[in-house]
Amino acid sequence: MKRRTFVKSGAAGALVGLAGCTGGGTGGQGTTANGGTTTGDATTTAETETAAAKTTRENLSGTLTVATYSSFVDAPSSSPGKWLKQTFEKRHPDVTVKFRTPENELNYYIQRAAQGVDLDADLYVGVNPDHLIRIDEKLGGKKLFEPTAQSLSNYGHVKDSLKFDPKHRAVPYDTGYISLVYNENQIKQAPTTFADLLKDRYQGKLIVQNAKTAVTGRAFLLWTVHTVGEDRYLDWWRKLANNGAKIMGSWDDAYTAYENGEAPMVVSYSTDQVYANRYNKDMSKHQVGFLNDQGYANPEGMAKFAGTDQSALAEAFMDFMLEKEAQKQIAQRNVQFPATDWAPLGEEFKKYAKEPPNPVTFTYDQLKGNVDDWVDSWAREIASK
């Protein structure tokens, strides 16, 4: 990958970044010379602007603090964090990438912003549509993220169907599809529709996650709202619960129960077989099933924190994460699908990662003002005693 990372718009951002760069001073002659011209001449032509931007990228320096969820950098199997850090630092020798993985993940930063405490991070990796709604509802006027999408040169490669932030703060870098995973030794005839799941045949056969506490559970609930309908989903869930479905607190708990044979079907990701293959597991116990030929898309995005003093560096890292090779590495190591159209995926992934024929998802605007009600009504319906 060569450095074809030019800033197309947002020259102001580049200038600020550049000023910071010269101030910090790497002492390289190129920096000083170029920096001098750019800052000295206010009315630069488009050409020098691009050159300046290029220089900025080439001479990036400083520490970039990337906040993310812990399995992105610290999973026992494989995680993309280490590769991203090493590759980016190799390309920019004066840059240090630091990871921060607070236990409360994005909530930690929302709380910091709400309390008016310094964020101490430049970029968050792992934002989903729910998060954006929570941010906008809880923080009101306070800004947590800044729009950056338009200034990334690789943004054009991001699949339109996955772009979930109308305000262009979050840039998708991968996506998962929620689906069923089942043991075909016990499920001879897999359910193909949501209505199927209510049949006697599947009595006590399914484990799902709590939509209040688990990402996969929430996605599955949203999928039912999307497909069964806003006015019928509660009814459907009551019938599902009466049909013996087990609703557990987290994906970990649910998957542990599934692996121990508590039930032959579980709500999980459609990439399940990639792991199963990596760990030499019996593939018949890891079949992927899509309901109504759908899968609920759960895109993950990255966003730049408002008020960061490493703006240029943060954008360079985001652009880097959208590059071909990075997209391939992220997808394979995080075991999710790439968010762009150009990742050269390996054979393992092509063979075992299943994509639903019709991915569905709610947009930010559809979720806004609704998702809390949907989830709360669901939770009260299930937990009443």
Would you tell me which residues interact with another protein (CB under 8 A)?
Answer: 70-71, 73-77, 81-82, 85, 98-104, 107-108, 110-112, 115, 117, 134, 138, 204, 210, 212-213, 241, 246-250, 252-253, 255-257, 259-262, 272, 275-276, 279-282, 335, 372, 379-380, 382-385
Distances (CA, A) of 329 to 57, 137, 165, 179, 320: 22, 34, 24, 23, 12
Q: Is 109 exposed, middle or buried (0-12, 13-18, 19+ CB in 10 A)?
A: buried
- The one-letter amino acid code at 324 reads K
Tell me how far, at minimum, the Cβ of 71 lies from another protein, in Å: 7
With respect to another protein, which residue has the nearer C-beta, 103 or 160? 103
DSSP-assigned letters across all residues of 55-88 = HHHHT--EEEEEEE-THHHH-SS--HHHHHHHHH
With respect to another protein, which residue has the nearer C-beta, 21 or 208? 208
With respect to another protein, which residue has the nearer C-beta, 30 or 261? 261
Through-space distance between the first and last CA atoms of the chain, rounded to whole angstroms:
59
With respect to another protein, which residue has the nearer C-beta, 241 or 360? 241
Measure CA 270 to chain center.
15
Tell me how far, at minimum, the Cβ of 10 lies from another protein, in Å: 30
Tell me how far, at minimum, the Cβ of 106 lies from another protein, in Å: 11
With respect to another protein, which residue has the nearer C-beta, 90 or 385? 385
Tell me how far, at minimum, the Cβ of 361 lies from another protein, in Å: 20
Q: What is the CA radius of gyration of the chain?
A: 23
With respect to another protein, which residue has the nearer C-beta, 112 or 168? 112
Tell me how far, at minimum, the Cβ of 275 lies from another protein, in Å: 4
Tell me how far, at minimum, the Cβ of 269 lies from another protein, in Å: 8
Tell me how far, at minimum, the Cβ of 32 lies from another protein, in Å: 33
Residue 80 contacts by C-beta under 8 Å, 6 or more apart in sequence? 72, 73, 329, 330, 333, 334
Q: What are phi and psi of 9, to 5 degrees?
A: -130, -175
Task: Kindly report the number of other CB atoms within 10 A of residue 20's CB atom.
Answer: 17
Tell me how far, at minimum, the Cβ of 187 lies from another protein, in Å: 15
With respect to another protein, which residue has the nearer C-beta, 192 or 213? 213
Distances (CA, A) of 270 to 51, 62, 195, 359: 44, 39, 20, 11
Tell me how far, at minimum, the Cβ of 248 lies from another protein, in Å: 7
With respect to another protein, which residue has the nearer C-beta, 25 or 249? 249
Q: Are 68 and 122 in contact (CB under 8 A)?
A: no
Q: What is the DSSP letter of 260?
A: T
Angle at 254 between CA 251 and CA 259, to 5 degrees: 120
Task: Kindly report the number of other CB atoms within 10 A of residue 372's CB atom.
Answer: 14
With respect to another protein, which residue has the nearer C-beta, 16 or 382? 382
Q: Using DSSP, state whether 142 is helix, strand or coil.
A: coil
